[in-house]
Structure 1
Amino acid sequence: MDPLSFAASIIAVLQLSTKVLGYLNDVKDAPKDRAQCAIEISNLYNLLFNLRVRIEEGDPLKPWYTSVRALAIENGPLDQFKQALETLQAKMIDGDRLGKAGQALVWKFKKQEVDSFLGRIERLKSLVGIALELDHLKLSQAIKDDTNVTRTQLPVLQSGVDKIRQVQDDAKHHRLMEWISPADYPAQQSDIIKRKQEGTGQWFLDAPEVVRWQGEAKGTLFCPGIPGAGKTMVAAIAIDHLLKYVQNSSHGVAYVYCNYKEEQDTSSMLAAILKQLVQGRPSTAAPVERLHEQHAARGTSPSLDDIFSALRGVLTDYTAVYVVIDALDECQNSNGTRSQFLTKLKDLQAVRDIRLMATSRFIPEIEDAFREDPRLEVKASKEDVERFVAGQMYRLPRCIQRDSTLQNMVKEQIVEAVDGMFLLARLHTDSLQDKRTPKDVKSALAKLSKGSTALDHAYKDALQRIQGQLQGDQELAQKVLSWITLAKRPLTTAEICCALAIEPEEPELDTENMLDVEDLVSVCAGLVVIDEESAIIRLVHYTTQEFFERTRGEWNPNGPLYIARTCLTYLCFDTFKSGGCSTSGEFDERLRQNQFLDYAAKHWGEHARMVEAEIFNAVSLLLFQTGSLACASQVLFISEIKYGKYSRHYPAITILHIAARFGLSDTTVAIFCGAETPCTIPLDEKDSWGRAPLWLAAANGHVEMAKLLLDMGADVNAEASEGGHESIAKLLLDKGADVNAEASAGGHRAITKLLLDKGANINAEASAEGYKEIAKLLLDNGANVNAEASARGHKLIVKLLLDNGANVNAEGGEYVGGHEAIAKLLLDNGANVNAEASKGGHEAVAKLLLENRANVNAGSIIHGKALYVASAEGHESIAKLLLDNGADVNAEGGEYGNALQAASKGGHEAIAKLLLDNGANANAEASAEGYEAIAKLLLDKGADVNAKSGRYGNTLYAASEGGHKAVAASAGGHESIAKLLLDKGADVNAEGGEYGNALYAASTEGYEAIAKLLLDNGANVNAKGGEYGNALQAAYREKESAIVELLIEKGADLNVINNDG
């Protein structure tokens, strides 16, 4: 190893040491071991820094250099120290989701581990000290002695290193699972099942309906129950039973816990099911890996169709799958999510053995969806309630614990009072916790609430107990309940502890003001619980939230103001005034160290809008603190999907955009009209994503804000009705907007009628979702509509359109059909239709259309030609059918340009070959997602290996979305394709695209193997280009230490790092 490579090794260790020291400083209430480790690392850091300087300044030909390089051999002293640091780091930051504070880490090391680590440091200090004495003979012997010590005295650290390597092996799969779905329903399942008393729910498992469902292929069981009956516990018991039942079998289990406070749509819930099935059988991950390859590098999310298709693919590896959905009534249905979700599950059930169980309250719409399925009502049995109360005796006062007669009275009277409502049993049991004498207990039992109003009475009793506490506990309980009930999403314990520690007008968080999470629970009279696995703090039940929402004015009228002020105070902390982060690493670290930042940045405006007049000064302070606002905006607008440099992709906005986004109309008036120096931001100024304030107001449904902007002179023709908000659509029409029917696409009949009354130039997009009423409304107003309704298979609407003389030959918009009955209906009415049925893969429909002389080369506005769609979707049989019927193999259209590009993008090798065999132009994109087989296929067909590309316009362009194909393959991390390109004569030093050259791309993204491949093939190690100037700077800035060492070894100019500091 040459001296420069050795220097790079030292640099990597110095960087890791700095990071570990940062973590050590974050450890709260640590023993002296932590301080000793920090001191010793700091001392060694200084010695290593001096050694690095000596190496860079000295003569590499002297004997001393031969000896000193032995420090950096594989598994040598420096490598051993690096591994020890990695072990220390991994163990400090692992888990601790129930930490008491947002910034606190926990010290988890045993004395033996600490002694081993300190011994490693001491030996390396000794070796470096000898090296600095320039005594090469003494150094050589010391290194040899140290190697022997390492072999015999470091089993503890080596065990930790082995564990880290195993974690690293599993990390890729874990990241893939988190990418497809961040939902952690198994953690919730674990929390619920921990609270189960032995024997609870056995009646349910033994019920004939459940036994029959468990053994019936494609069976469905609906389990309704009254609020508080214990439906969630029953669901958890069923899931636990099924997980044990399917072990070592070809059956799978997946489940979803619906939650009124979580943003759950059909895609996210199906993705959660997909994630669980792949976790249950990792060998089935291929469909998810393909989705990741298609989307991750670009920061896009898979569509509902993508998720559904991947799920179908994974299901083929299971003989049967049990799917349990809890609390369907808590699944949002204002936008059709619940109905769509059930439809998708039924669609899966039609083609695979899906055995579906669902729990819900008695809601007519949900009951109707299961009207033809077996049902079993969930009702807390007398035995289960008795078990529960008996299991709670340890929490009750001693006067009950030592009196068996009184215990029996408690059980009997609570069982009698609850009448099948498990939740009420819990609340009644909690109500006895402050009853210290038998007389008080008996008096409380006599007053237990019963009947339809029992829950409200129980909640009011709990509030009275809270108000009877010491003043400090009462105020704390009020704050805790305010946060949980008013929060826009569930809060973690770390988040709520941070929030409660924030003090008015203070510029930073005082860690000495942090509370223990146990105290938050103890002061809330049993109304608050913590899910230990997920670290979520929540109310004991959905009905608790409903009660507090109904009675907020009575128990906490100032709660909204307190929440809003706390969020704003936090966002104005000094630590956030530096603005947005410049790298994804810095951004992730900021969120890790400031755990309330995610919530405060994303929801402060929603809380402020509720109390806008009272909170104006605090809102103005944030809006006019440029750095603080930039920090908050980065968190607000950044993608939830993590990909290369994802943290940089957020819009440059003005304060007016922020006000519009949150609907802060009073604030806008004050800033623009009421201030001594009114704001002069143009009303129609676009943010860097091309959005005007009016668009943001409309898209988020803020009627008053939209009206205010229009009154102030905003462009009346902004696309504000896009969100389907009726009042905004009417507002725009009253202002004379040149409107279209886009609002009707969501099925909002009132908006559609409003548009028609104003003489809007209508299209038939409303029918796409199957809303007969809207379609009829369109026709009654003489709309020149098309048959787009067939995309969803709504035969009734299509017939309605045809009966009204709809223009059946009109081209479609976004939606593409696939339902044979509707296709036939169109044909029977003389439609000269195209072959759009191919999007859904419905060969029978496509054949039917073609047999009726459909225009095989017709296309839709968005999806393009039929052949393109079939190629993109991977429907080989339909693609062949279309080609056999004369489809133009090189026709242009669609997102990717033509059919071959679409097939390449999707990784459909068989279709790509079919198209090429039929004369497709080989210079179409292939390596964008890393499909080596297709890339080779195209090259064999004569693709230009050195062609440059635009976004999707070239044969072998890959994940970087621009530039030379070798650059693209490097940026995407596709080593096999990069090698293929080079073997075919690609110019290793070609320039182009975002990264400038291939070596820079690989260095920036951390692809060491590709960087080495490029260098071995003659890449210019010091080539200029890219944001950082050259490959070494890029690797150094992105903390890719292995690539830094590689580049230096290959002759990179080390001064660029030294000059950078």
Structure 2
Amino acid sequence: MDPLSTTASIIAILQLSSDVVKYIIGATGATKDRRRLREEILACESILLQLQDHADDADEGTKWWEKIKALEGPDTPLYRLGIALQAVMAKLEPKKGLDKALSALKWPFDEKEVEKLISAMQREKSLLQLAMTNECRGLIREIKKSSHENTELLMELIQTIKDNATEDTGQFTKLNTILVEIRASQGDLKTYAGELRDQRVHLEQRTVLDWITPIDYAPQQSDIINRRQPGTGQWLLGSAKYQDWLKNDKQILFCPGIPGAGKTILTSIVVENLVTRFENDKNIGIAYLYCNFRQQDDQKAEDLLGGLLKQLAQGWSPLPESVVSLYGSHKDRRTRPSFDEISRALQSVAALYSRVFIVIDALDECQTTGGCRTRLLSELFSLQAKYGSNLFTTSRFIPEITEKFSTSTSLEIRASVEDVRRYVDGYILHLPSFVGRNPGLQEEIKNGIVKAIDGMFLLAKLHLDSLIGKRSPKAVRAALTKLPTGSEAYDHAYENAMERIESQVTGQKELAKQVLSWITCARRPLTTSELQYALAVEVGEAELDEENLPEIRDMFSERLRSNPLYDYAAHNWGHHAHEDMPPSQKVFGFLESKAKVEASNQALMAVKRWSGHFKYSQNFPRQITGLHLAAYFGVENLARFLLGSNGPNLKDSYGRTPLSYAAANGHEAVVKLLLATEGVEADSKDNNYGRFEG
């Protein structure tokens, strides 16, 4: 064997350890733990350098050549040391494409994790030290003797780190896959080989499912259901109409309601009821959607139908052939399936189940652009007619929607007295302490709230919020007599809320207004950490100062390694730019910065294209310009400005021009602008099988 290949693993581990040490030095906090871990890695480096010196001089067949061979490969100390270092790297390595201001990392390990990491490295270091003194047979004997225990401890360590992590666990899943491979060489080969095969199948299936759509409604379902009081919605679940819908095929239950009636909460209760009732029956499929007018870019007809397909397909292992075939026909060409293709696959998967339940919330918030709502309803009605699917949907009283369900069973959603009283019971602890000590006053509050809301559940929360600052039972009773009712109740309730905000001290008042502005203007719900970073942005500053992050209690992990708002900004800045006319100089500056455009594009295309390859920026188009992005988002004024300094035929690494992006995203005004530009190549082809762009 060539001596170079013999030392390749040692060199790789040395390079990895060097990178890890750099990240440790660059981290902040936990000085003692960082120093201990760094010193242990440097001690391992010292031994590795000595081993490398011997390996460089070793010829094949010599004692040192045999020792190095014994230290390398799977199920060896060198390999396990590399895995431990990869675990550290996975937690410390910053995401690419972010500003340097975000590269300062907060220490992501607790003291116990550091202790276990050091112990794992010391175990492997002791075996490496044996290579310096022992003959080869003794070394191999010691390696085999400790191999199983060391591997088990390392597996336990990485699992612990993974369980404690708040970030994407993809890298840790890969580490576990490697560890399973090591275990396969030790004990019951069939058991471990099966475990490895199952894990690989799961990863492959997850790649296909996330390719269909990266949108996952399960976290939203969990968030909504966790906000309801136990026992809520029993009036619906126990109703004759719901029971009939549940027990018979081809049923539609249409549940309209006024704004704020609690339709979304009741939808989550229906989903939970179905999942709980049929969780052990693999022949029953359940899929659900939460429509949101702020997420129109992620909820086109293809996205919504894809969401149903993804949920029904994930109930099968292996995945249905129609789904695998759909993925296979598009992945190499980097294309997306059409609505009709998704429809055929969905119907094929639905046919595999004996029964299918589909739940759609807020159909009124499903966009009408491009016939989205009409196409979705047509598909749902087709599934009902052909495959006996049951459909449950909620909506406001919109004539064109209610007309579609004129022949279906209908059940109006209103806030029931029992549900409101349960909600108030759960809210009491947020009210002044004297309320909790006064059962009579609690009953007065329940009766007052029930009387005032008139079926509008959202009003119950707003009215209860208005009681939080009251200082006496008399003040509470006075407020109860003045609770607004009727059609103007929401306006009065929100006015009262704003008055309470205005009465706060200046700093808190301004923070509250900023929070409301972000929540109101965001195109999708922001996570708490995204909101925190949004609030830290200072107008006029080119970089983000982490010392400006506001404190938000019980929500921010020390393991946060990058700007959580970055993903939202990359996907939505263009939509906000439509409303900023004329565009500000900062927008022009952003689009004229090659580095910022490239970084933003990577975050944008990573989600838009291959969620299975998420974060691997080299898999996505490079050489993107500001004009490409302006065309992608359809911002005509920006595109017109950038055409002054850029030609219309600039191509990215996939051979796509701005015209291609504008046309693909349906931005007619920008398409016309580009086609009217002198010298534009309207019939340009990209690099993928000579496909025409226009």
TM-score, L = length of structure 1: 0.54
Match of 1:409 among 444, 450, 453: 444
Structure 1 equivalent of residue 153 of structure 2: 156
The 3 A distance-change label for structure 1 pair 124 and 174 is same
The structure with the larger Rg is: 1
Q: How does 1:872-1021 map to 2 (within 5 A)?
A: none
Q: Distance in 2 between matches of 1:398 and 1:717?
A: 71
CA contact (8 A) 2:626 2:642 kept: no
Match of 1:257 among 267, 290, 298: 290
Is 1:200 the counterpart of 2:232 in the alignment? yes
The 3 A distance-change label for structure 1 pair 507 and 707 is same
Q: How does 1:229-628 map to 2 (within 5 A)?
A: 229-249=261-281, 250-262=283-295, 263=297, 264-518=299-553, 593-613=562-582, 616-628=584-596
Q: Distance in 2 between matches of 1:117 and 1:698?
A: 49
CA contact (8 A) 2:256 2:411 kept: yes
CA contact (8 A) 2:286 2:358 kept: yes
The 3 A distance-change label for structure 1 pair 224 and 616 is closer
1:270 CA displacement: 1.8
Is 1:191 the counterpart of 2:223 in the alignment? yes
The aligned amino acid for 1:595 is P
1:410 CA displacement: 1.1
Q: Distance in 2 between matches of 1:310 and 1:403?
A: 59
Q: Distance in 1 between matches of 2:495 and 2:274?
A: 39
Deviations 1:297-319 (A, max 9, x none): 32222222222222222223210
CA contact (8 A) 1:477 1:520 kept: no
The aligned amino acid for 1:650 is P
CA contact (8 A) 2:3 2:60 kept: yes
1:654 CA displacement: 5.3
Q: Distance in 1 between matches of 2:497 and 2:393?
A: 31
1:206 CA displacement: 0.7
CA contact (8 A) 1:87 1:157 kept: no
| Secondary structure of 1:282 counterpart | coil
Deviations 1:254-293 (A, max 9, x none): 1111111113122212221122122233344332222222
1:431 CA displacement: 1.4
Deviations 1:338-380 (A, max 9, x none): 1100101111222212011111101001101111111111111
The 3 A distance-change label for structure 1 pair 109 and 626 is closer
Aligned length: 637
1:140 CA displacement: 5.6
The aligned amino acid for 1:599 is Y
CA contact (8 A) 2:627 2:642 kept: no
Q: Distance in 1 between matches of 2:118 and 2:656?
A: 56
CA contact (8 A) 1:222 1:359 kept: yes
Structure 1 equivalent of residue 121 of structure 2: 121
The 3 A distance-change label for structure 1 pair 505 and 39 is farther
Q: How does 1:639-1038 map to 2 (within 5 A)?
A: 640-642=608-610, 647=618, 649-650=620-621, 652=623, 655=626, 679=644, 681=646, 684-685=648-649, 687-688=651-652, 689=655, 691=657, 696=662, 701=667, 714-715=677-678
The 3 A distance-change label for structure 1 pair 46 and 640 is farther
The aligned amino acid for 2:621 is Y
Structure 1 equivalent of residue 248 of structure 2: 216
Out of 166-175 and 416-425, give the one that drifted further: 166-175
CA contact (8 A) 2:75 2:147 kept: no
1:444 CA displacement: 1.9
The 3 A distance-change label for structure 1 pair 600 and 432 is same
Q: Specify every segment of 5 or more residues in structure 1 that has no aligned partner in the other structure, as ranges.
A: 94-100, 522-531, 533-590, 673-678, 721-949, 954-960, 962-1061
1:503 CA displacement: 2.8
The 3 A distance-change label for structure 1 pair 347 and 35 is farther
Q: Distance in 1 between matches of 2:143 and 2:680?
A: 76
Deviations 1:1008-1055 (A, max 9, x none): xxxxxxxxxxxxxxxxxxxxxxxxxxxxxxxxxxxxxxxxxxxxxxxx
1:89 CA displacement: 6.1
| Secondary structure of 1:356 counterpart | strand
| Secondary structure of 2:250 counterpart | coil
The 3 A distance-change label for structure 1 pair 659 and 294 is closer
The 3 A distance-change label for structure 1 pair 21 and 295 is farther
CA contact (8 A) 2:305 2:343 kept: yes
CA contact (8 A) 1:217 1:353 kept: yes
Q: Percent identity?
A: 38
Match of 1:226 among 258, 261, 267: 258
The 3 A distance-change label for structure 1 pair 619 and 507 is closer
The 3 A distance-change label for structure 1 pair 87 and 630 is closer
The aligned amino acid for 1:624 is E
Q: How does 1:25-104 map to 2 (within 5 A)?
A: 32-33=32-33, 35-72=35-72, 74-85=74-85
Bigger RCO (CA 8 Å, 6+ sep) = 2
Q: Distance in 1 between matches of 2:85 and 2:680?
A: 60
TM-score, L = length of structure 2: 0.81
1:669 CA displacement: 7.9
CA contact (8 A) 2:236 2:242 kept: yes
1:618 CA displacement: 1.9
Q: Distance in 2 between matches of 1:17 and 1:629?
A: 32
Out of 431-440 and 27-36, give the one that drifted further: 27-36
| Secondary structure of 1:345 counterpart | helix
The aligned amino acid for 2:418 is E
The aligned amino acid for 2:576 is H
1:129 CA displacement: 4.5
Q: Distance in 2 between matches of 1:635 and 1:666?
A: 24
The 3 A distance-change label for structure 1 pair 454 and 281 is same
Is 1:176 the counterpart of 2:208 in the alignment? yes
Q: Distance in 1 between matches of 2:679 and 2:66?
A: 76
Structure 1 equivalent of residue 10 of structure 2: 10
CA contact (8 A) 2:597 2:625 kept: no
The 3 A distance-change label for structure 1 pair 701 and 281 is closer
The 3 A distance-change label for structure 1 pair 324 and 662 is closer
Deviations 1:456-481 (A, max 9, x none): 11111111111222211111122222
| Secondary structure of 1:335 counterpart | helix
Q: Distance in 1 between matches of 2:482 and 2:638?
A: 50
1:436 CA displacement: 2.3
The 3 A distance-change label for structure 1 pair 700 and 518 is farther
CA contact (8 A) 1:299 1:639 kept: no
1:32 CA displacement: 4.3
The 3 A distance-change label for structure 1 pair 660 and 280 is closer
Q: Distance in 2 between matches of 1:635 and 1:140?
A: 52
CA contact (8 A) 1:103 1:594 kept: no
Q: Distance in 2 between matches of 1:154 and 1:692?
A: 52
CA contact (8 A) 1:102 1:596 kept: no
Deviations 1:508-536 (A, max 9, x none): 33333223444899xxxxxxxxxx9xxxx
| Secondary structure of 1:280 counterpart | coil
